[in-house]
Amino acid sequence: MSMKSKSVVVTPKFFDEATIRFLEKSDLSVTVPDFPEGKNDATATEAELIAVLSEADAWIVGHSTVTLSLLRSLPRLKAIARRGVGYEKIDLKAAVETGKVVTIAVGGNEESVADRTLALMLSAAHRIRESQQQLIDGTGTILIGNDLYAKTVGVIGLGRIARNVIRRLKAFDTTLLATTPRPDHAYGKSMGVEYVGLEELLQRSDFVSLHAPFKPETRHLINADRLAMMKKDSFLINTGRGGLVDDRALLSALKEGRLGGAGLDVFESEVDPGLIEITKELVRLPNVVATPHSAASTHEGLRRTNAVAAKCVVSVLNGDTPPEDCLVVGG
């Protein structure tokens, strides 16, 4: 048994040794539990989570659902550090009620997600998936794709990831549109971004890229009516959150030829498992390029987010305030 006075439990996969050493050098005992076969921190039951967290002072969490009943069962726990920036699976009211500090790993994965966003744009437009399938099938038929170069790209939401996407898109000589609740006009002028309303953005864009947070008011931000506003040969890219798009409506638009294609890293079935069959239909379409919510999952991106989460844990357990932009509640 470790003689260190405080402990941290790390439940996400792919937690690197360098960050574990950092935590240990900060005088913390580190536990990386083995879940039962076929389970991970997203699918583990509340009882399984309680079993591994009962003596933890801090928890570095991946995709677990964090509820009031879970937190009430963990009186020793002080800090919950999300490896990532989305915290919709954490009941923040419950965290406040039970006196926990919740942090996110701001700045860790934005470059990786921005890279994936451009990869999906280019893959969908250039019909990479369809072209490879032609080679697999032995036909080698040449399919005519579309350029990203000199096109109009509409960005919905203007946080860190979106700004990194915009920085990359400048190299493609794109016309850049953005819609956001709080336009930063100095930024827009410096980057050549035109602020427009959502409907105008949808009507003018050749590519629409989603980077808005998922909230009750942004659920189905892209619905059947708004899909109908988009150009028939345009592409919808979602590396934001499942639920921003009505995936059933998107499936209909794609099957009926009302969109050029889509690049998707997130799906509505992540928040509504009853829609898993819709997800399966979407990813089978030849003009859909899809990845399993893995845009942040690069070796480099995971090392960065691991490090930020670890620093947040050390700050909280040492009685310090974590970085302001990483602190969600508590402190």
Dist CA 150 CA 42 (whole Å): 41
Token pair, residue 229, equals 């506003």
Contact by Cβ (8 Å): 171, 150: no
Among 165, 130, 261, 158, CA closest to 206: 261
| Residue 64, amino acid | S
Could you please report the per-residue DSSP string of 271-313? Answer: T-GGGHHHHHHHHHSTTEEE-SS-TT-SHHHHHHHHHHHHHHH
Distance from C-alpha of 16 to C-alpha of 153, rounded to nearest angstrom: 36
241 tagged catalytic: yes
Cα separation, 14 vs 159, whole angstroms: 26
Distance between CA atoms of 85 and 265, rounded to whole angstroms? 15
270 catalytic per annotation: yes
Whether 185 is catalytic: no
Residue type present at position 113: V
Catalytic residue among 110, 111, 268, 270: 270
Cα-based angle 184, 186, 188 (whole degrees, multiple of 5): 70
Catalytic choice (111, 241, 268, 304): 241
Q: Tokens 């009941």 identify what position? A: 91
Active centre residues (catalytic): 241, 270, 293
